[in-house]
Amino acid sequence: MTTSAANPQPRAYLSRRYRLSASHRLHSDTFTADQNRTAYGKCNNPHGHGHNYIVEVTVGGPVDAATGMVCDLGQLDAFAQTNLLDRFDAMNLNTLDIFRSVVPTTENLTIEVHRIFERFPGAKLTRIRIEETSNNSFEYSA
């Protein structure tokens, strides 16, 4: 297998799904108690609730001629372990620094996770998609 400039490698996208379980409470300090209840309904329960989130990370790029891969999956998994799972899995999202002044909706979680994987050195991030439940999912691309 050889690569040459005259024969560019096709561009493909690789997606990996990670699972994390976390609790959160949707509450904005800029709203009154009534406004919070109206805006967030049962998600405003003061004691919080939780989800089994599925985080789908998509990276894209030329398929390496030597490996046949867009990125080293081991490197992506290790990055996800350190920067996603170790930080978010089995946590209360509201207690994390990033959600001190930002409501931990799945929209905001998706944007934060996108920010994290933009720093992945092994391949270019294309999209983050998070399933909060099997009925709700959120996508963010830069």
Partner 1 sequence: MILLTRKAEFSSAHFYWNDAWSPEENQRVFGKCANRNGHGHNYTLEVTVAGEVDPVSGFVVDLKELKAILEREVISVYDHRHLNLEVPEFTTRIPTTENIAISIWQRLDGRIPHAKLHRVRVYEMPDLFADYYGEP
**Which residue ranges make up the site for partner 1 (CB under 8 A)?**
1-2, 8, 10-18, 58, 63, 66-70, 72-74
Contacts of 110 (CB under 8 A, 6+ apart): 128, 129, 130, 138, 139, 140
Name the CA dihedral angle for 18, 22, 28, 29, rounded to a multiple of 10 degrees.
-130
Q: How far apart are CB 118 and partner 1 at their closest, in Å?
A: 19
Residue number, 9 or 23, with CB nearest to partner 1: 9
Q: How far apart are CB 8 and partner 1 at their closest, in Å?
A: 6
68 — alpha (psi -120 to 50), left (phi > 0) or beta?
left
Query: What CA–CA distance (Å, rounded) separates 75 from 64?
Result: 15
Q: How far apart are CB 59 and partner 1 at their closest, in Å?
A: 10
Residue number, 26 or 71, with CB nearest to partner 1: 71
Residue number, 64 or 107, with CB nearest to partner 1: 64
How many CA atoms, within 13 angstroms, populate the side-chain half-sphere of residue 99? 25
Residue number, 72 or 89, with CB nearest to partner 1: 72
Query: What CA–CA distance (Å, rounded) separates 111 from 130?
Result: 10
Q: How far apart are CB 7 and partner 1 at their closest, in Å?
A: 10
